[in-house]
Amino acid sequence: MSDLSLNPVGDTLTLYGQIDDRLRNKADAYIENMNKISDQSKEIAELDNFIQAIISRITIDTNHIPENFEKEIADVFGVKATLDKKGLFSIDLAGSKWDKSIQKLCKDGKLATNNSRFENKGQLDRFHQELEQQKSLLKNETSKPMLLIQPLLNLIELFANMAKKCVELDEKLKEKANNIR
């Protein structure tokens, strides 16, 4: 018995289905990756906006730090701030949504700083710089899957057209065979 197929169109459609599934799964994986990167970008942007807002409330000159600094930070940002008699401060994000964001981004490998307590403006500035750098890196990461999706979609369309053409040619062949009889 030979392996010669008696239904080449059926085999073509089966092959097309397998290729289509594989290519669509790859495209879906790229889209899922883009969505994950987009979520991380949003989270980093929100965290960075929060850090910038705190930095904007802080000045080097202790004479300009408001008396109600601790209460203002707690009321506006929902985090703990302390100010000592020398004018040194600390911001503690522990337990806040910002702490959860930092933990998640560290777990995902997007942040090196797994710290939710900042002892001075310099630490906040360095953290802000790290966030800015990550925003830039994530922009570049997003472009890779976007560039790869279009060729996959083109291949899906190409194989669909090939399968359609095979079916059309088979129908024409059957029609000619019927006309010969």
Write down the pLDDT at residue 66.
65
pLDDT digits (tens, 9 = 90+) for 151-172: 888 988 998 898 899 889 888 9
The total domain count for the chain is 1
In a domain, 65, yes or no: yes
In a domain, 39, yes or no: yes
Write down the pLDDT at residue 174.
86
Q: What's the pTM value of the predicted model, to 2 decimals?
A: 0.72
Write down the pLDDT at residue 1.
44
- Enumerate the β-bridge partners of residue 83: 89
pLDDT digits (tens, 9 = 90+) for 126-139: 999 999 999 999 98
Write down the pLDDT at residue 63.
54
Write down the pLDDT at residue 36.
92
The range of the structural domain enclosing residue 138 comes to 9-174
In a domain, 2, yes or no: no
In a domain, 124, yes or no: yes
In a domain, 160, yes or no: yes
Tokens at 18, concatenated: 């397998």
According to DSSP, residue 84 is labeled -
Write down the pLDDT at residue 129.
94
Hey, what amino acid is at 20?
D
CA distance 12 to 159: 10
In a domain, 74, yes or no: yes
What does pLDDT average to in each consecutive run of 10 residues of the chain (181 residues)?
67 88 91 91 93 76 63 80 71 89 91 85 90 91 84 89 89 86 67
Long-range contacts of 51-56 (CB under 8 A, 24+ apart): 51/124, 51/127, 51/128, 51/131, 52/128, 53/77, 54/91, 54/124, 55/121, 55/124, 55/125, 55/128
In a domain, 120, yes or no: yes
In a domain, 179, yes or no: no
